[in-house]
Amino acid sequence: MVTTIIRNFIRFIILILVQVLIIKNIELGRFVNPFLYILFIIALPFETPKWLLLLSGFLLGITIDMFYNTMGMHAAATVFMAYIRPSILNLFSPREGYEFGTQPTIQYLGVPWFLSYSAILIVLHHFILFYLEVFRFSEFFPTLIRIIVSSVSTLVLVVLSQYLFQSKKEVE
């Protein structure tokens, strides 16, 4: 239990630092905005209480808002993502349920499951974030393109990080 808390706290700090110090400073164009920091919410253990999910989403989003100067938009998007996460997990739940003490990873549940689960959460996060940022119907289609392109780039980073940094030991 304590090691899980420490591991998730370290993941929280590392993902924020990577987002703010590296990804934010890479200019990928107007339509490509990857947000790797949302991997924190995606990778939390299955049995994380809803109140802790919402609190974690808020703290994660408001921290990113401070660095991006976005006045609560990331907080709103990550809280929504944390709120909808249990429903998405139930949607993809195996018949026998999830094993206690595990996390949603590629190594544990496989590539198709992880891609479906994380892609839905990423698209929902980006949808809320970008439409809050634009906040007008005249920009609907350019914003939709931005959501799609940014979601794909974020998903690629999330999957790459799963392969690069997830150890087999965490699965067992």
Q: Please provide the average confidence, as pLDDT, over all residues in the chain.
A: 90
Q: Assess contact for 159 and 68: CB atoms under 8 A.
A: no
Lowest mean pLDDT among 33-37, 49-53, 135-139: 135-139
Q: 167 falls in which pLDDT band (50, 70, 90)?
A: low
pLDDT greater than 70 at residue 119: yes
Q: Looking at 39-172, list the stretches that DSSP marks H as alpha helix, in order from N- to C-terminal side.
A: 39-42, 50-68, 73-91, 106-109, 111-134, 140-165, 168-171
Number of other residues whose CB lies within 10 A of the CB of residue 23: 18
Domain spans, the chain = 2-171
- Which tokens go with 15? 């993902």
For the chain, what's the residue count?
172
Q: 85 falls in which pLDDT band (50, 70, 90)?
A: very high
pLDDT for res 168: 52
Q: 171 falls in which pLDDT band (50, 70, 90)?
A: very low
The Cα–Cα gap between 129 and 71 comes to 11
pLDDT for res 98: 75
Q: What is the pLDDT of residues 92-109, one digit of tens each?
A: 887 777 777 778 889 888
Q: Which whole number is the average pLDDT over 23-39?
A: 88
pLDDT for res 49: 93
Angle subtended at Cα 32 by Cα 123 and Cα 133, rounded to the nearest 5 degrees = 65
CATH class of 2-171: mainly alpha
Q: Which whole number is the average pLDDT over 59-85?
A: 96
pLDDT greater than 90 at residue 156: yes
